[in-house]
Amino acid sequence: MDTGMMVTEQVVRVRAPARLHLGFLDPGGRGARRFGGIGLALDAPATSLTLRRAPAFSAEGAERARLARLLPEAAAALGLPGAFAVHASEAIPAHAGLGSGTQLALALAAGLRTLAGLPLDVGGDAVRLGRGARSGVGAAFFTGGGVVVDGGRNEGRDRPAPVVAQLPFPEAWRVLLILQPSAAGFHGADELAAFAALPPFPREATAENCRLVLMQALPALAERDVAGFGDAVETIQTAVGTHFAPAQGGVFASPAVARLAARLKSLGARGVGQSSWGPTGFAFAGSEAEAARIVEAAGGQARDEGLVLAVARGRNEGATIEAPPAGARLARAV
């Protein structure tokens, strides 16, 4: 029966980058704004989705179960009639501290908007889909890359935290990622409970984190000084990790990741830390050759600990959205 609706063969492809959360500025939120933070977009891993209209909702590929739940929720949040199908050819590891949930939700919303001919509204969709409650860097990385500082979420406004600084990540630098596939960081109700149980973050620690970002990390980034940038990030990581230690069991959530991070530091890596609640750890190297040397030296320990030590680049652009031209669409009535 012809219902008057059209199912189009147009296909939209969206690829959204992972991110590292390099530290909060004020997790205690003593003023009108809370959290604030600094983060970095990565070239890999990433979430890659293909979306199309369909007779019924369906999800295939990586993160199938998660997509099957999120797809109809996203379509309903955008007020879109009909049904859609999605296939994920790759996905950021879930609950690893790499922003998987935010990028998956925003990629879905962007793909659906493109299919429907609607303008993008990344900030609005982050709110509609329940993302960015604490950090604004995830939504920022969907539209741009590099290193981002967000100014904290205004508790009186239902919008993601605003971006107050954004600089490119040097092309020569590399990111050393410490991945632990067998573990997961806090998320969902456990994450909310962990935040609620933490003591107030010291005012002087907030002041020092802000000073480190404004007067050391960002200037070092502009001057391509990997040591200055890394040292600032590591100092912030130590302060925030110490604050979170009662909830996660230490400055790092994973003892194995902590041990390998210490090894990377001893080999010359800068800025060791943990992204969000982990378990993913990270460090920086000033060149591809330096990263390769460190990986070769520490690779055995990584394998012995059941970890994956990978090298990534920073990403200085946001998500990509690809669709065929309007004239290439084929439509059929349902």
**pLDDT digits 0-9 by tens, 279-327:** 999 999 999 999 999 999 999 999 999 999 999 999 999 999 998 665 4
For residue 203, give the 3-state DSSP assignment. Answer: helix
Find where tokens 């990403």 sit.
Answer: 315
Beta bridge partners of 322: 13
Residue 332, token pair as written in the block? 């059929």
For residue 328, give the 3-state DSSP assignment. Answer: helix
Longest dimension (CA), the chain: 69
Round to whole Å and give the CA distance between 31 and 101.
28
Residues 109 and 13: beta-carbon distance below 8 Å: no
Residues 278 and 245: beta-carbon distance below 8 Å: no
Residues 325 and 12: beta-carbon distance below 8 Å: no
pLDDT of residue 184: 87
Torsion, CA 192, CA 195, CA 197, CA 201, rounded to 10: -170
Round to whole Å and give the CA distance between 189 and 176.
30
pLDDT of residue 30: 64
Residues 63 and 91: beta-carbon distance below 8 Å: yes
Per-residue pLDDT reduced to its tens digit, 19-61: 999 999 988 766 677 889 999 999 999 999 999 999 999 999 9
Q: Which amino acid is at 253?
A: A
Cα angle, residue 139 at apex, residues 138 and 144 outer, rounded to 5°: 95
Q: How many residues are recorded in the chain? A: 334
Round to whole Å and give the CA distance between 113 and 242.
42
Round to whole Å and give the CA distance between 310 and 299.
9
Topology, domain 6-326: Ribosomal Protein S5; domain 2 (3.30.230)
User: In the chain, which residues have pLDDT < 70?
Assistant: 1-9, 29-31, 132-136, 156, 158, 187-188, 324-334
Cα angle, residue 108 at apex, residues 102 and 114 outer, rounded to 5°: 130
Round to whole Å and give the CA distance between 240 and 49.
34
pLDDT of residue 189: 72
Which are the contacts of 167, defined by CB distance < 8 A and separation ≥ 6?
146, 147, 218, 221, 222
